[in-house]
Amino acid sequence: MNELTIAMPKGRIFDEAYQMLLEAGFNLPEEVEMSRKLMLEIPEEKIRFILAKPMDVPVYVEHGVADIGIAGKDVLLEQQRQVHELLDLKISTCYIASAGLPNTTMNEIAPRIATKYPNIAMKYYKGIGEQVEIIELNGSIELAPMIGLADRIVDIVSTGRTLKENGLVEYEFITDVSSRLIANPVSYRMKGDRIIDLVKRLKKCVK
Ligand SMILES: Nc1ncnc2c1ncn2[C@@H]1O[C@H](COP(=O)(O)OP(=O)(O)OP(=O)(O)O)[C@@H](O)[C@H]1O
Ligand SMILES: O=P(O)(O)OC[C@H]1O[C@H](OP(=O)(O)OP(=O)(O)O)[C@H](O)[C@@H]1O
């Protein structure tokens, strides 16, 4: 049996994704001790997990150092990497929307859009015929309209709490997001049996 290296996103997605693998019947420790270890070997299953930043999972998979990985659709849309998307796990669901201060229109000349997702935002505004200036931030995006850095933000919305607590309203829905199982194209060919078995088992656990 080939060894399978799986890139797992640390943070929000990890628990739900790991739970799905347990439900799919993989013989893994019930709980992963939250240590600082970034690699986890499961010799009984011939699986090796690498624990990566969510934005980096497709990088490991594209380069083939991980055979498969779990990544948010937001990250996949933003990065457009050469990976196969195998399965929608329907976990860590949320959506991407534009938001801003209530009752405001966008500046007519080059409105400014703050976002962690420059490509998604650019594509969206291009699609609706708006020429915008993108201001790329790495977090706390909701600050931007409040302090006059941008007319709108393009960001993830889950419960809507962050928008509400910062006095912002949603303007346009852009796209739904959930986590996806992705594979390196060469691994998919070379380790097809193992990957297809994993997809079949996970498919049964998708809710
Ligand atoms: N409310 C949410 N906010 C952000 N991401 C969410 C949310 N709900 C689900 N997600 C999913 O989780 C992923 C982000 O996970 P997480 O917040 O752990 O990483 P991150 O934003 O890169 O955080 P950090 O840079 O702080 O590690 C997103 O890519 C998205 O697919
Ligand atoms: O609709 P909600 O349930 O409030 O969730 C959405 C918020 O969560 C995420 O931020 P995160 O906690 O990852 O912080 P950061 O992007 O500011 O680092 C996202 O960027 C939104 O700000």
Task: State phi, psi for 125 to the nearest 5 degrees.
Answer: -70, -30
Q: What confidence tens digit (pLDDT) does each residue in 135-169 have?
A: 999 999 999 999 999 999 999 999 999 999 999 99
Contacts for 190 with CB less than 8 Å, ≥ 6 apart: 2
What is the rounded CA–CA span in Å between residue 27 and residue 24?
9
Please check whether residue 9 is in contact with residue 18, taking contact to mean a CB–CB distance below 8 angstroms. Answer: no
- The answer on pLDDT for 35 being more than 90 is no
The predicted complex's ipTM stands at: 0.96
* pLDDT average, residue stretch 76-94: 98
Of residues 61 and 1, more confidence is placed in: 61
Ligand 2 center to 142 CA (angstroms) = 9
Task: Decide whether any atom of ligand 2 lies within 6 Å of the 137 Cβ.
Answer: no
* Residue 188 φ/ψ region, left for φ over 0, alpha for ψ in the -120 to 50 degree band, beta for the rest: alpha
Q: What is the pTM of this model?
A: 0.96
From 157, 164, 170, 177, give the residue whose CB has the most ligand 2 atoms within 8 Å, as the site to mutate: 157
pLDDT-derived band at 36, boundaries 50, 70, 90? confident
C-beta of 58 in contact with ligand 1 (< 6 A): no
Q: What domains are defined for the chain?
A: 4-92+178-203 (3.40.190.10), 94-176 (3.40.190.10)
| Distance (Å) from CA 27 to ligand 1 centroid | 27
First vs last C-alpha separation in the chain: 29
pLDDT at position 31 is: 78
| Mean residue pLDDT across the chain | 96
**Which positions ≥6 away from 206 have C-beta within 8 Å?**
87, 88, 89, 90
Say how far apart CA 141 and CA 107 lie, in whole Å.
18
> Looking at the predicted structure, is the pLDDT value of residue 91 above 90?
yes
Does the C-beta of 78 come closer than 6 Å to ligand 1? no
pLDDT for 119 beyond 90: yes
Percent of the chain with pLDDT over 90: 92
> Quick check: 68 and 195 in contact, CB under 8 A?
yes
